[in-house]
Amino acid sequence: MKQQRGFTAVAGCLWAAVAFSMIFGAALIEAPARAITILDAEPVSLADGREVYEHICQGCHMPDGGGAIGAGHYPALAKNRNLASRQFMALTLLMGRRNMPAFGAKHAIAQIGRPAVLTDVQIAAVINYVRMHFGNHYTDAITAAEVAALDPAAAPGVDSH
């Protein structure tokens, strides 16, 4: 009896999905495709590192930069000695690292829709913001040009295809 109820529930869900697609399918097919990304949700200032952090980074690294452990390991950015290297941060943002996604235009991927991509200006801004907040006091700022130069896919003479 229990197995029959489970089958009935699954069959009901399948029929509901078929009915939904028959009713709304034409409208969905005719509607222009539009990828929704984290950057589409609310515009992010091109050069304000605080806004980039608040809209993209703090979801994993937390508002206070304290990091989190749970469904994954999100390292603390507060008082983090690894942040002494501007290049380390830039390469991490450009190409990703472990469970951190890549945000560089040539490296970012997405499971659904368009990937969230940051410009070199935004990457430099958020690096400089994090390196001067959350108990960090690294005053040697990185520039967008330095971020671009670190991207191996953008290096002169290297075919990125």
Report the candidate in 108, 68, 115 with the shortest Cα–Cα distance to residue 92. Answer: 108
Helix, strand, coil distribution of the chain in percent, nearest 5: 50, 5, 45
Task: Record the tokens describing residue 100, joined without a space.
Answer: 């951190």
Query: Residues 48, 95: contact at Cβ < 8 Å?
Result: no
Its pTM stands at: 0.66
Output the CA–CA distances (angstroms, integers) from residue 4 to 1, 8, 15, 60, 122, in the order listed.
5, 6, 16, 43, 56
Task: Record the tokens describing residue 18, joined without a space.
Answer: 């078929």
The per-residue pLDDT string of the chain (161 residues; one tens digit each, 9 = 90 and over) reads: 544 444 443 344 334 433 334 433 444 344 444 444 444 433 444 568 999 999 889 988 999 999 988 877 889 999 999 999 999 999 999 988 887 888 887 777 766 666 678 889 999 999 999 999 999 999 999 999 999 999 876 555 444 33
Task: Record the tokens describing residue 4, joined without a space.
Answer: 């029959």
